[in-house]
Structure 1
Amino acid sequence: MEMEVETSFGEKANVGSGFPLKIWEVVAAFTIVLVFSLGLFCVYLTMPASDYSFLKLPQSLEDLQVLRGHLETYTRDYTAQVLVGYCAVYIFMQTFMIPGTVFMSLLAGALFGVLKGVALVVFTATAGASSCFFLSKLVGRPLVFSLWPDKLSFFQAQVAKRKHKLLNYMLFLRVTPTLPNTFINVASPIVDVPYHIFFLATFIGLIPAAYVTVRAGLALGELRSLGDLYDFQSIATLFFIGVVSVTPTLVGKNKEA
């Protein structure tokens, strides 16, 4: 049974429907997936001949350690091809919200070192988040309403209260784990966050966490769980940066009061 309700966004949404997407949205999403998949396949065709049976999206530290062991020598011989392949896979995962990008960030540190690794992760993460932003702008609205209605209402209210200092607030969200990055990517166009603010907050705000993760990738063999990535000092540092980024918003509100 379907029922239309008025949302806090002044729109009507279907509640209780089995599938929230319309036919044209399904076709558009499928076309985008197909284009990305063909792009990945073309990148694969440009890679030098080798045994690629070891290649898989890492979903655990064990997968990542095996992948690193195979790729170290390969990266030295075919650096450009590995960079292109890495960027394509990371952007694909980020665009379609596929879990495992934290393992890709660790891999960047293991293969390229801290400075190159951070630059690579920030670039690919920003590109992937931007791609997800525009994909959500096209077909994501019904899915976001269906999956995260309460979280979306909260995000909308916070964005509305901070329109004049929105960059600071978005930086705060990116630096701290207040809201998941995946949710921020898909919800930002729905709550009318301008793309230039989304881009700047993503590009700048991801640097601290990228540094922590990439640096941990240098000692990949010593990691026993993802919990080892963020010790108390790392988490405290990220929250401190987040508080600093949101301080101008709070000061501005106090002055207005």
Structure 2
Amino acid sequence: MARRRSVLITGGSKGIGKGLAAGFFKSGYDVAICGRSVDDGQNTIRELQGVGPGKLIFLKGNVAEKNSIGKVVDAIQQSFMGLDVVCANAGIFPSAYIRDMTNIALDEILDTNVKGTIYTVQAALPLLRQSTAGRIVITSSITGPITGFPGWSHYGASKAAQLGFMRTAALEFAADGITVNAVLPGNIFTEGLEGMGKEYLGAMVASIPLGRLGDVKDIANAALFLADEASGYITGQSIIVDGGQILPESGQAAGA
């Protein structure tokens, strides 16, 4: 009996990562969620249990620590007997203006968002090479690669760096049949936005031509496409999922 396709989702117990976990699980994948909080991970497992036909596990790990993510991948091999898809999703987004940014704040975001992506891919690569269709999907952002936002210079730099890594990784892994692509979310409604208030959320919606904040399902749908056989000839590319947010020249154009 052939095993199910399997996926590792880092940062998979909250926000976009949780949406990715739900999407892949419902689509028939065996899903391994990696995160730093055991409580959050167990809550996600309880919430999603039964919505998919495969296995769903949580593995405690920190992508910023190479040995930690290596142990996570070893555990996936034991549980799933292989790995086909990596969603390098773990990321942090603290705010700090350039004039006030500390070395600690800069190191923290680069360690998680940039090094964490690279460490995850390095750890998973041997298993992805054994897959019949290895896939790597990186969660980047419109902030950094395309847009800017005050207080997020270090975050934007980390998200742009992920795309630089993606392009060369796509070249290096092509001979193994592994594709490497990225999803660039715009404003997605997650737990982090719930307490921002109606006025703040209304202003965000006003900047989006499609007239709504994104849903985590929108990101999961894009990632599922990039993980599917149908996207097997696409590598080193980015899909922007933002409801048209980056298109207007001005606020007047957005509301036209």
Structure 1 and Structure 2 fold alike (TM over 0.5)? no
Report the structure number with the largest CA radius of gyration.
1
Per the normalisation by structure 2, the TM-score is: 0.29
TM-score by length of 1: 0.29
| Larger strand percent | 2
